[in-house]
Amino acid sequence: MGMFEVIFEHALQSIELDKDITIETMTTLNLLFPQSLKESLQIIESGLVSRISTANGCYYHTVASTANSSHVILPNSCSCRAHAQQVVETKTEFMCKHLLAVEIASRLPGAEQSTVVPTDQWSKGLLALLWPQ
């Protein structure tokens, strides 16, 4: 793990521990993500982060982008164009604003809408989001 990842992990642990984003953590995150932090926080504040899970612990996140489309966020990956281009292809970004929003929201009480669904509905929903008809 590089220094960047170590510092990021520490910031995430602080959010989990403090149940809040302190000024110190905010400063650290802003240094790590000068381009995307503000947008990620706006995504959280707008209530756009959802966690869809099953009773046995499978889960994925979505971030609503427009009225009828959502990005799907799985651990370390997002279905958006920025993730494919800047994170995977050119490696100019560590993660997209959606993934950052999910990493923060999942540690912040009340920051994500959580829905538990039956397993078959869960997998159908995920497939429909990843491969829209």
Residues 85-124 that bind Zn ion (CB under 5 A): 96, 98
**Among the candidate windows 23-31, 82-90, 102-110, 117-125, which touches Zn ion by CB under 5 A?**
82-90
Contacts of 110 (CB under 8 A, 6+ apart): none
Q: Tell me how many residues contact Zn ion (CB under 5 A).
A: 5
Identify the residue among 78, 100, 101, 102 touching Zn ion (CB under 5 A).
78
Work out whether 61 is an interface residue with Zn ion (CB under 5 A). Answer: no
Map residue 125 onto helix, strand or coil: helix
3-state helix, strand, coil in the chain (%, to 5): 50, 20, 30
Q: Which residues of this protein are in contact with Zn ion, per CB under 5 A?
A: 78, 80, 83, 96, 98
